[in-house]
Amino acid sequence: MKVLLTALLACFAAAGAVADDYELGVHYDALPIAVETADPTRIEVVEVFSYGCVHCYGFDPAVEAWRARQPADVAFRRVPAMFREDWAILARTYYAIEALGVADKVHSSLFEAIHLKGLDYRNPENIARVVEESAGVDPAKFVEVLSSFAVRSKAQQADAQGRMYRLTGVPTLIVDGKFRIHGGKIDGSNSSMLAVVDFLTAKIRAEKGR
């Protein structure tokens, strides 16, 4: 019994050490040039993702659970990736549902339609049907917003941001415009990225004296 207790205590100590020992260049990278955040008064966490990425689909529930428990000084937002030509329409889709005020209703449905139901997202009308079923948006209205100058401009800005983040894959998390975290840097587990985010936000919070 004593041996078992000793072993358990050692395991707990090791787990605590891991949480405190995330290293720059090992578990996360520093961006060579910091990227301006949307709100400098808060600690920004950006998820770079694509609806076309199956790993982003698997990561999404963990991100949503993490997002729900964040304090007020953490600002979360998403930036769609545009690595592939056929992901451009998905980037515009994200900004279209955001502009229509239905992103929270449609976000998960789009992932499921693409990865569970095999939706051909290259056709805007197919996406419009998902948006209509999930949020009651008229398909013609969705297509109009999808093609608007404002949405196209936001997608172009997202592409530029992705370049500034020096992305190598998705999902990727950017903390406060300074640090980049990718699952491959840790143990191949995307969920482990969120533990590194918590480590970095606590570090930044302490440095800012909050």
CATH of the domain at 96: 3.40.30.10
Q: pLDDT tens-digit profile of 150-161?
A: 999 999 999 999
Residue with tokens 């398909």: 139
pLDDT at 186: 58
Q: How far apart are CA 47 and CA 171, in angstroms?
A: 7
pLDDT at 183: 73
pLDDT at 14: 36
In a domain, 14, yes or no: no
Task: Provide the residue range defining the domain that includes 170.
Answer: 25-207
pLDDT at 18: 43
In a domain, 191, yes or no: yes
- Mean pLDDT within 34-44: 96
In a domain, 195, yes or no: yes
Q: pLDDT tens-digit profile of 81-102?
A: 998 999 999 999 999 999 999 9
pLDDT at 208: 85
- Mean pLDDT within 4-32: 62
In a domain, 202, yes or no: yes
Residues belonging to the chain: 210
In a domain, 131, yes or no: yes
Q: pLDDT tens-digit profile of 101-126?
A: 999 999 999 999 999 999 999 999 99
pLDDT at 20: 60
Q: What is the pTM of this model?
A: 0.87
Structurally, the chain folds into a number of domains equal to 1
In a domain, 90, yes or no: yes
179-182 β-sheet, strand order: 29-30, 179-182, 172-175, 43-49, 74-80
User: What percent of the chain has a predicted confidence (pLDDT) above 90?
Assistant: 82
- What 3 state SS string does the chain have? CHHHHHHHHHHHHHHHHHHHCCCECCCEEECCCCCCCCCCCCEEEEEEECCCCHHHHHHHHHHHHHHHCCCCCEEEEEEECCCCHHHHHHHHHHHHHHHCCCHHHHHHHHHHHHHCCCCCCCCHHHHHHHHHHHHCCCHHHHHHHHCCHHHHHHHHHHHHHHHHCCCCCCCEEEECCCEEEEHHHCCCCCHHHHHHHHHHHHHHHHHCCC
Within 13 Å of residue 139, how many CA atoms lie on the same side as its CB? 9
